Amino acid sequence: MILEVRRSDESLDRQTVSLSPKAVFVLRENLDRQAAPLLFHAADFRRVSEDAPARRGGTIALFALGMGDLDPPLAAGELPPTPPPQLPNALCVAFLDRPSGAPVATAPPLWAGAAPGLIGVYQVNLGVPASLSAGSYMLSLTGRRVGDALGRECNVGFQGDELDAVTIEVR
């Protein structure tokens, strides 16, 4: 797509831009992608922290923007109904070794869709694999390619389009 900007002096600037139906951003302490992610224990929504770390076999929730269409669709600016709509094309959650980036474990989210009571925000509930060792991991949200033979499962080493990634400490 070509984007044109006409300035007040009548000069014109043209740029080619790409549009995507998704521009995922996991909510963080601030708008910097290097900032700590806002992760919560799904059972009681306590913040995942050094004092209350993510636990192997536990369930955590994250909140994000820009994850795309919902099923059933939700009009812009509308509060989600109960039950909230879900993402029709589930994503994969990969736990990557730090610093090598090698996949250690993957899993589909337990639930992903519109965050109840919030406009324009998505919620992803995911299980922390019990097979993980205690340590620091890169938590990567990875899209599944439509029509891909691997599209129904999340396999270690699956290389879909990375949507966003955050660091997580697991105990």
Residue 4 lies in a domain: no
Q: Is the pLDDT of residue 150 over 70?
A: no
Residue 94 within any structural domain of the chain:
yes
Rounded to 10 degrees, the C-alpha dihedral 18/22/26/30 comes to 40
pLDDT in tens, 47-63: 999 899 999 999 999 99
Tokens linked to 72: 């059933």
**9 falls within a domain:** no
Q: Is the dihedral of CA 146, 147, 148, 152 positive or negative?
A: positive
Report yes or no on whether pTM surpasses 0.75. yes
**φ and ψ of 44, to 5 deg:** -140, 5
What percent of the chain has a predicted confidence (pLDDT) above 70? 85
Containing domain of residue 157, as a range?
21-170
Q: What integer pLDDT is reported at residue 151 of this predicted model?
A: 47
Q: Please state the domain count of the chain.
A: 1
pLDDT of residue 48: 95
| pLDDT confidence bin for 154, thresholds 50/70/90 | low
Q: Flag whether 119 is in a domain.
A: yes
The span from the CA of 60 to the CA of 48, in Å, is 8
Q: Which residues pair with 94 in a beta bridge?
A: 106, 140
Nearest residue to 63 (alpha-carbon basis) of 89, 45, 82, 81: 45
Decide if pLDDT at 39 tops 70: yes
Q: Give pLDDT, residue 36.
A: 86
Q: Tell me phi and psi for residue 156, to 5 degrees.
A: -60, 130
Here the tokens at position 119 are: 């406009």
* Residue 149: predicted pLDDT: 47
> Which pLDDT score is estimated for 107?
77
Q: Give pLDDT, residue 21.
A: 56
Q: Is the pLDDT of residue 19 over 80?
A: no
Rounded CA-CA distance 24/164 in Å is 6
Q: Is residue 10 part of a domain?
A: no
What does the pLDDT read at residue 79? 96
Give the other-Cβ count within 10 Å of 153's Cβ.
12
Q: Give domain status of residue 6, yes or no.
A: no
pLDDT, tens digit (0-9, with 9 covering 90-100), for 90-136: 688 889 898 888 888 887 889 999 999 999 999 999 999 999 999 99
